[in-house]
Amino acid sequence: MACKCGGDARLEAVQGDTFQRTFTLSTWDGAEYVPTDLTDATAKLLLGRDDMMHEHNLVITDASAGEITANIPAGETEAWGIPTGPAGVTRTNTVEWRLQIRVEFSDGVVQTIVLGTLCVAREATA
C-alpha cells in the first residue's frame, strides 16, 4: 500500500483492518540506547488531528525489553478512515493522523513519545 498523505508518514494502516504493531522503547544512558524498563507501566496509542482524537490501550508485552504491542480490533480502526472537517469534503483515499505513544510509569511520571504519522487507507466502497 502506498501512502498518499505526503510528509514523513512512518506507519500505514487500512481502515477496518486489525492493527497489530510492536514498538520497542529505549532510553539513552549517556553511552548507548538501552531498553526502557516498563515494569508496572501502562501505555496508550494516541491518534490526533485538529478536529478529532482516538485513544487505544496498549499491552506491555516485555517490560524489561521495553516492548509495547498494539492489537487494535478491526471494529475500532473503522473510525480511523472517516474524514471530518475539510477532509470530509474532498473524500480523499487516505486520512493522516499524528501518532504518539503515552506511557505512565509506576512512579507517576508520564512520557509522550511522538512517533510521526499514521496514514490510513480508506476502505473501498461499492
- Of the ranges 12-16, 43-47, 89-93, the best mean pLDDT one: 43-47
- How far lies 54's CA from each of 44, 94, 95, 125, in Å? 10, 17, 13, 23
**Calpha distance 46→97 (Å, rounded):** 9
Of residues 36 and 91, more confidently modeled? 36
Residue found by looking up cell 522503547 in the block = 25
pLDDT tens-digit map of 81-107: 877 665 544 456 888 888 889 999 999
pLDDT tens-digit map of 103-119: 999 999 999 988 788 88
What domains can you pick out in the chain, each with its CATH number?
11-121 (2.60.40)
- Residue 78 has φ and ψ, to the nearest 5°, of -55, -40
Q: Taking 60 as the threshold, does the pLDDT of residue 4 lie above it? A: no
pLDDT for 70: 92
